[in-house]
């Protein structure tokens, strides 16, 4: 079991990152004239967001195999990133209560998520390569 955890960890991390990129592409591509591609990313935006949650949670749990070797800061950033993804999805879930401000909060939490995720990735790569 211990031999498979690092593999699951890395695959889940990569799939969560790809899912984040796919979700953010909707926001980027909506400003272009590529309507068919934009429509595709609008269709997959919500379901892929739930994949982010699944793969991020799987990555977080399976990464505990290296808890003794990796700085606690990396885990803290991962947890913050996961919480900010939950907050981003939460803005959509309670958008009726937020009224027209929901999209503003959705975008704010998206930017916060991307910043925290970028820092998590940087420190995570540093930790990963220091383990080798």
pLDDT at 120 over 70: yes
Residue 28 burial by CB count (10 A; 0-12/13-18/19+): exposed, middle or buried? exposed
* pLDDT tens digits, one per residue of 27-46: 888 888 888 999 999 999 99
pLDDT at 84 over 90: yes
Q: So what's the pLDDT on residue 18? A: 96
* pLDDT tens digits, one per residue of 94-110: 988 889 899 999 999 99
């Amino acid at each position: 079991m211990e031999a498979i955890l690092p593999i699951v960890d890395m695959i889940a991390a990569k799939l969560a990152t790809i899912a984040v990129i796919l979700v953010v592409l909707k926001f980027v591509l909506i400003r272009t004239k590529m309507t068919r591609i934009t429509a595709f990313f609008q269709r997959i935006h919500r379901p892929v967001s739930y994949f982010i949650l699944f793969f991020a949670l799987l990555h977080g749990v399976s990464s505990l195999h290296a808890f003794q070797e990796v700085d606690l800061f990396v885990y803290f950033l991962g947890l913050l990133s996961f919480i900010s993804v939950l907050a981003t999805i939460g803005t959509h879930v309670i958008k009726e209560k937020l009224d027209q401000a929901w999209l503003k909060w959705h975008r704010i939490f998206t930017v916060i998520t991307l910043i925290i995720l970028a820092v998590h990735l940087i420190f995570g790569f540093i930790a990963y390569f220091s383990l080798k």
